[in-house]
């Protein structure tokens, strides 16, 4: 059985893929390393910085109370409004 720490070990690539599940997008450019495993649960941020571009969105790291996740914003100007990042 995995410990809680091991259960929360992820890569940014996994979290990005999860965030892109409903969009059908593919990555066109990456800045940073998105393949290192880290603990995404509460505590100090452990994941490294990154930016990922698709044809329509830009993905980036988010941290709230030490829990890390992925957020995105439109790549180009549009009518989509962005909620507060890290506050959900």
Give pLDDT, residue 5.
60
* Cβ pair 55, 47 in contact under 8 A: no
3-state DSSP helix/strand/coil percent for the chain, to nearest 5? 15, 35, 55
Residues in Cβ contact with 24 at an 8 Å cutoff, skipping those fewer than 6 apart: none
> pLDDT digits over 22-63, tens only?
888 999 999 999 999 999 988 889 999 999 999 999 999 999
pLDDT of the residue at 37:
96
């Amino acid at each position: 059985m995995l410990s809680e720490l091991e259960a929360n070990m992820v890569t940014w690539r996994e979290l990005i893929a999860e965030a892109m599940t409903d969009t059908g997008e593919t990555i066109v450019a990456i800045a940073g390393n998105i393949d290192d495993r880290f603990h995404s649960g509460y505590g100090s941020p452990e994941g490294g910085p990154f930016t990922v571009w698709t044809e329509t969105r830009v993905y980036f790291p988010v941290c709230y109370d030490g829990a890390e996740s992925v957020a995105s914003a439109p790549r180009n100007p549009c009518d989509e409004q962005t909620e507060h990042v890290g506050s959900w």
